[in-house]
């Protein structure tokens, strides 16, 4: 038999249920919903379906602009235009590529105007950022994401360009490309990967070359497992410093079930440590299925004692995740590098040191 107390308790719980639900919703909105993997990173956008941009073809026009630091050497532009011409492409320079405001390539409004004009220009097939440095994140509130959603185009670059690559994918779903900047070395390796991924639409497997270069065993471009195994997921990442600076902003993609790739340059190990801790505390690291660490050029511990090394830091923050991970992929501030499709589905094989695309990234 139901007692009066039981009836009153049931009635009270029924009355409070909407209030409890509302409080839970507010808590989720304030701190992000929690899962076994940890909280969703603040500001992370819901995952969108990937949108493949058109492939680059012989005769196409490539838009060339600078979203970040000023270009101090006009010869870079001459080499870039000649390199594109040698590949059968036409380069179209933004109006402000020779501007300068301190360390920036002109005013934010003008750099953003160059980018938006190229997104809207039907003649421009893809956009290749000429150089990185710093400044791309300053443009994000000025970017016409709706225009990119209506006119998907391949956007190519690395380092500071990470801010554009991640925000464009997060806001529109368009697959972007972490590869050499326009002012990078147009060597055979860089051209080959750029063409395989953005021209020919291959579902490529990224694997460092293993042939010796003068030594009796290969001593360059070596990979090393951090945690063995294989995993699949959406490829997201880029420059660690730039990615970390986007946390809490409305330009960060959701890293749930992703394969995370990272690189950096001229950072002391304690700074890499600090940034990986931030990714962990923000809920990014706890959500990934695998990690590819590229290079950290000029990131040694320095002379003397008292410093962790990059391998130490990776053991602390990547190996501890228990997901497949490896170190040494040709990603970063190096002369020869891959062109990786940000937002495409891939498979990592940490034992072999490979990253395999599961489908083409362009149409």
All structural domains of the chain with their residue ranges: 61-199, 205-357
SS3 labels along 275-317: HHHHHHHCCCHHHCCEEEEEEEECCCCCCCCCCCCHHHHHHHH
Which of 69, 178, 333, 347 is flagged as catalytic? 333
**159 among known catalytic residues:** yes
The partner residues of 355 in beta bridges, in order of sequence, read 206, 348
Q: Per the CATH hierarchy, to which homologous superfamily does domain 61-199 belong? A: Murein tetrapeptidase LD-carboxypeptidase, N-terminal domain (3.40.50.10740)
d(C-alpha 274, C-alpha 128), whole Å: 31
* ∠ Cα 217 219 223 (to 5°): 110
Which of 263, 267, 345, 347 is flagged as catalytic? 263
Which of 68, 69, 128, 159 is flagged as catalytic? 159
CA 139 to chain centroid: 17
Sign of torsion, CA 326 195 130 49?
A: negative
| pTM score, whole prediction | 0.88
Of 331, 328, 325, 246, the residue nearest 284 (C-alpha) = 246
Strand 61-65 to 34-35 pairing: unpaired
Q: In a structure prediction context, what are the per-residue pLDDT tens digits for the chain, which is 363 residues long?
A: 444 444 444 444 444 444 434 443 333 333 333 344 666 677 778 889 999 999 999 999 999 999 999 998 889 999 999 999 999 999 999 999 999 999 999 999 999 999 999 999 999 999 999 999 999 999 999 999 999 999 999 999 999 999 999 999 999 999 999 999 999 999 999 999 999 999 999 999 999 998 777 778 877 889 999 999 999 999 999 999 999 999 999 999 999 999 999 999 999 999 999 999 999 999 999 999 999 999 999 999 887 667 999 999 999 999 999 999 999 999 999 999 999 999 999 999 999 999 999 999 999
d(C-alpha 172, C-alpha 166), whole Å: 10
The answer as to CATH 3.50.30.60 being correct for domain 205-357 is yes
Which residue is it, tokens 């293993």?
Answer: 210
């Amino acid at each position: 038999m139901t007692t009066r107390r039981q009836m009153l308790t049931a009635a009270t719980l029924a009355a409070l249920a909407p209030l409890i639900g509302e409080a839970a919703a507010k808590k989720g909105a304030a701190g992000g919903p929690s899962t076994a993997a940890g909280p969703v990173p603040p500001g992370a956008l819901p995952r969108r379906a990937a949108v493949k941009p058109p492939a680059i073809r012989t005769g196409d026009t490539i838009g060339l602009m600078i979203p970040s630091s000023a270009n101090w050497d006009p010869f870079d532009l001459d080499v870039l235009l000649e390199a594109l011409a040698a590949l059968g492409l036409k380069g179209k320079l933004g109006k402000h590529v020779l501007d300068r405001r301190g360390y920036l390539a002109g005013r934010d409004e003008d750099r953003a105007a160059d980018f938006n004009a190229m997104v809207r220009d039907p003649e421009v097939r893809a956009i290749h950022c000429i150089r990185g440095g710093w400044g791309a994140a300053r443009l994000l509130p000025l970017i016409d994401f709706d225009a990119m959603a209506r006119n998907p185009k391949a956007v190519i670059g690395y380092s500071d360009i990470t801010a554009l690559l991640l925000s464009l994918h997060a806001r529109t779903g368009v697959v972007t490309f972490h590869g050499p900047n326009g002012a990078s070395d147009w060597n055979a390796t860089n051209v080959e990967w750029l063409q395989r991924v953005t021209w020919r639409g291959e579902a490529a497997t990224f694997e460092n070359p293993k042939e010796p270069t003068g030594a009796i065993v290969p001593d360059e471009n070596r990979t090393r497992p951090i945690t063995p195994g294989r995993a699949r997921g959406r490829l997201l990442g880029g420059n660690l410093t730039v990615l970390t600076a986007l946390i809490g902003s409305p330009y960060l993609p959701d890293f749930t079930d992703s394969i995370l790739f990272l690189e950096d340059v001229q950072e002391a190990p304690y700074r890499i440590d600090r940034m990986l801790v931030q990714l962990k505390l923000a809920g990014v690291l706890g959500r990934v299925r695998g990690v590819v660490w590229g290079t950290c050029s000029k990131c040694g511990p320095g002379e003397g004692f008292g410093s962790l090394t990059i391998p130490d830091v990776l053991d602390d923050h990547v190996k501890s995740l228990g997901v497949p991970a490896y170190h040494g992929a040709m990603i970063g501030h190096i002369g020869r590098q891959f062109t990786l499709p940000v937002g495409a589905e891939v498979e990592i094989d940490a034992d072999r040191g490979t990253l395999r695309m599961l489908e083409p990234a362009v149409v």
